[in-house]
Structure 1
């Protein structure tokens, strides 16, 4: 698995009655076996909250209820020795699993989250508000022996042991499991130390035979492997003397319930043996031993270095998010799964290659979508798009530079790009040239100045005089339309007057302008006789003037 956590469907299948996880739990139930638990499995169940499959919740509750001694593997059972050989001071651990949790699944109490060895006091239960569990709660495997490390067989040397020693404390010192084949002289003494660090030694021959028996579904072949294991146990018992014999059932897949149960049954019923726990073995007086040179897969070490370098790129890239842990936590979980000791050979190479390709896709998930621009105004803005393929909104800064000082642009523009969408933004521009072509460079940055995506150069064609030409044309059209309207109005009035002038002359009785001429005989009086009209007499006598 290269994803950070198992999905709900995978958990439902694995924890079903006939599932692989159910088979392993059934096999150890009632035995004194010490359990090595990958904390990624309980975490995968708990992050689902109320949406966790009921079979997975029941499986987790059964695991926590078992009285067996246990210790936690690295998350995803990541390769400890390869990490240390790649230069890490300590093995990587998960940083956040918030990306895998949905608020809707944590608004009510979830049985999967309640199934913990120690309740988390920091979780509030505000009604209607999601109460997300802490990282320690998610990774809880029950009451366990802390600071136990189990590198892949023959992969850890004295340097790796020394690097793991500081991870323990005075109360809970570090314990590093090593195979007897890695111990100088081939000693099979279970209680041992290397450089003062507790290194319980498990018998490699017995463990190899047990692993073979646990992986056999054929009854005959399984019986042969069990017989071989029993013979190796007899030899180990004779060589160990008063010391216990420590054996492990190494990592494996597709183990049936019957095969695993039969294998563990051999250990509990072997003649002359009394079951004990890893905690008891580590507490015994130990003798100092030396380790042979480990088997180092240099190709694997190089791949781990590449994964760590990619993770640093993701850490810087995640600064565009309000919650960077959504991305960085997912990346860390996936890196640990890819580094699992279960990946070997070509399969391991392919897993690393696939993850690195996915990392490149993530780093390219935010970028600029733009083409060449044509400005028809001296102050028209540039309007590129910001592409965001991430499922979360991001905050980016668009840096704009031009090769011509005659085009003034806003150098930094901040934009909130929506999740899984393209967001258009506007960059104010002031053109100081009438026309011409200018090259403009776009580059996205995070708020902290980290370069995001690839730069993009576009050509801006400036046609600022088109604005003036457009204004002149518009004004000319307006004046033309107004002039045409006036001319048409004057022409219409003149035409109306001409038509009135060229028409028939009206009679005396015809009303003019709505006023009728009155008939002089309308009042019943006859026309006056000219002879009856008094006219003043002419006289030569001057009239008396009045003063």
Structure 2
């Protein structure tokens, strides 16, 4: 592991003195078993500048030791590679690299931790070599390799242990170094077996959808996908798998539409010999739920929203009829029967799997809760217990004990059982599993071997099994992860153990060191929970509320995934987007703005518009109330509004006690009396007496029309009597001659009137 550190004053002086001597004798004086070669980004013969530049910042200069093996065994040798990087913007003057080691093993975890961090009192006073380093340009790198070391050269005694080794680089006023350990297991040494149990999560990258879609599953289960890399590196290895049920449910919820690679991946997982246990759905962070005040850990309620019936239609496979060997190849045609054949039955309605069927799995253990490292407090355990958890995985940074040695896996905190994972050793294993290069992996494995050797040699420690955990990261390749597990199990003193066996050992009492999550994260989880309750009330307008509540719960669980903790900015954006979508849903059903209404009758049905911008039909109850006794509302009205539509809802009302201005308050409810949206106020002008006035006016108009018609008829008849008789005769004879029609006696008065007018 690479570290920058200022060495102690005395040690810096010694290193500088040795470096000055080495500059005088050249590189030939620094050979160990074989002469190391130096490669640099600078020209080898570059001269030092006449004036030395100012001292570089130590943080911008790094030294790193890489080992070719994680431990020395017997008379074998290993090679070291030391790399110096200059990340400053100025030259580093020519300097020296001093490699020293110690001949006494590191005897405690505290001393090991301090040594690896560049502090402590571990003795590293055996000078192995001093190597001149040329001028390093800005951004330059100098690598010294190979430096071959053996137990004899290091002066190691015949005692197994983790021994210190150090590389210190001095350039002008800049002194930085890297401290590592070399694990030595001499031939004939008696091992002190240390059981090691490993647990690893099987999880997908964090999302916001609640379930993985077909495209995501196809990507993750492809030959180079993250789920494939995890399974390739862990399947049938001595590793307990914590499986995210969301992955299983996502594949099954797609039915026939599931990608073939995902189906095959799930089949491989089902045949694995590993111990298994379920994580929270979507690997939701358990500790933040408890600290947000939830009474219990959240679980999915329904995944009905994600399934399409056509994906669960079973394809009929016709049964092959047996062939009679005695039957001729071309039988004679038969005469079809004359009876009418029965109609072929249509396909049956597919049955969608239940939530239990989607998430069912044959786990070897259950009841394990695995929060993120360093996030648990003692008050969380009652919430875990209320949710059915029997064991909680906690990091060693989250607990203390009175033993004075490294804790084994099995522990108790009051009535609660815990599995303690060793933080430092787990971190080294994680670095080895996710290393990009082989050198990085070997460096991490060397650090891990040092931790395990020191733990195994701790005095007064009982026989116990150590627990190591991998995190929610993803290895670059399945082989890198597999190599890390293989190397771990090959380390001195390590004996592979099952997680169930580690949990069954005698438990040691531990004290939880409260490490609560940040208040901002807790506040966001509280808001998610509150908004979910609002959506639950909204869903009571739907024929199938689970279509909304099931989706919301699954999405909340996805947003609580532990993997989001490493991407706080992305998580905040995801929470904001989800909150916006929730607001849009809650605002999708409301009373549309209504203009003032004029009511001119004693009884009427006032129209109010209700809009539904949700994707499903909703059933609403419109309740109206009057601000005055002048208007009485008979009852509420229940009506179904189509999806993405606006419809008018008519509310019966009755005018009473005169006229005037009245305000009608409108409120939407679901059929289960849940309040929907904001109330609305509509002004209504009541003019009930206008109905009587209007009727009187209408009657008066009808009467006037009747009287006018009667007067006109009387005037016409009087005019007819004043016309002479012979006028009628002439007129009638002329009319008969032209039309040859029968005389209409009813029309005669009108004809006389016309003649009189002429």
Q: Could you tell me whether the CA contact under 8 Å between 2:278 and 2:363 is conserved in 1?
A: no
1:416-453 deviation per Cα after TM superposition (whole angstroms, max 9, x unaligned): 22233223221112334786432111001122322110
Aligned pair 1:407/2:407, yes or no?
A: no
CA RMSD of aligned residues (A): 3.7
Task: Provide the residue aligned with 1:527 in structure 2.
Answer: none
Q: Could you tell me whether the CA contact under 8 Å between 1:433 and 1:464 is conserved in 2?
A: no
Relative to its length, the structure with more helix (as a share) is 1
Matching of residues 33-432 of structure 1 within 5 Å: 33-108=239-314, 128-165=348-385, 174-185=390-401, 187-239=406-458, 242-253=463-474, 255-344=476-565, 345-372=568-595, 373-432=597-656
Task: Provide the residue aligned with 2:673 in structure 1.
Answer: 449
**Counterpart secondary structure, 2:375:** coil
> Residues of 2 paired with 1:477 and 1:27: CA distance?
98
> Residues of 2 paired with 1:5 and 1:109: CA distance?
25
Q: Could you tell me whether the CA contact under 8 Å between 1:203 and 1:236 is conserved in 2?
A: no
> Residues of 1 paired with 2:688 and 2:617: CA distance?
36
> Residues of 1 paired with 2:368 and 2:736: CA distance?
125
**Counterpart secondary structure, 1:438:** strand
Q: Could you tell me whether the CA contact under 8 Å between 1:162 and 1:195 is conserved in 2?
A: no
**Counterpart secondary structure, 1:105:** helix
> Residues of 2 paired with 1:161 and 1:504: CA distance?
122
Unpaired segments of 5 or more residues in structure 1?
A: 111-125, 515-547
> Residues of 2 paired with 1:35 and 1:486: CA distance?
107
> CA 1:14–1:376 in structure 2 vs 1: closer, same or farther (change >3 Å)?
farther
Compute the TM-score of the two structures, normalised by the length of structure 1.
0.79
Task: Provide the residue aligned with 1:437 in structure 2.
Answer: 661
Q: Could you tell me whether the CA contact under 8 Å between 1:237 and 1:245 is conserved in 2?
A: no
> Residues of 2 paired with 1:100 and 1:220: CA distance?
45
1:209-256 deviation per Cα after TM superposition (whole angstroms, max 9, x unaligned): 222233333443334333323333333333476322221111124744
Q: Could you tell me whether the CA contact under 8 Å between 1:81 and 1:151 is conserved in 2?
A: yes
**Shift of residue 490 of structure 1?**
9.6
Between 1:13-22 and 1:218-227, the stretch displaced more is: 218-227
**Counterpart secondary structure, 2:457:** helix
> CA 1:289–1:485 in structure 2 vs 1: closer, same or farther (change >3 Å)?
same
> CA 1:220–1:404 in structure 2 vs 1: closer, same or farther (change >3 Å)?
same
> CA 1:409–1:237 in structure 2 vs 1: closer, same or farther (change >3 Å)?
same
Aligned pairs, number: 493
Between 1:470-479 and 1:155-164, the stretch displaced more is: 470-479
> Residues of 1 paired with 2:445 and 2:260: CA distance?
36
> CA 1:229–1:408 in structure 2 vs 1: closer, same or farther (change >3 Å)?
same
Unpaired segments of 5 or more residues in structure 2?
A: 1-206, 317-345, 741-758
1:330-355 deviation per Cα after TM superposition (whole angstroms, max 9, x unaligned): 22222222222222334444433333
Q: In terms of Rg, which structure is larger?
A: 1
Q: Could you tell me whether the CA contact under 8 Å between 2:406 and 2:455 is conserved in 1?
A: no
Task: Provide the residue aligned with 1:25 in structure 2.
Answer: 231
Compute the TM-score of the two structures, normalised by the length of structure 2.
0.58
Matching of residues 525-536 of structure 1 within 5 Å: none
Q: Could you tell me whether the CA contact under 8 Å between 2:605 and 2:650 is conserved in 1?
A: yes
**Shift of residue 464 of structure 1?**
4.9
**Counterpart secondary structure, 2:376:** coil
Relative to its length, the structure with more strand (as a share) is 2
**Counterpart secondary structure, 2:212:** coil
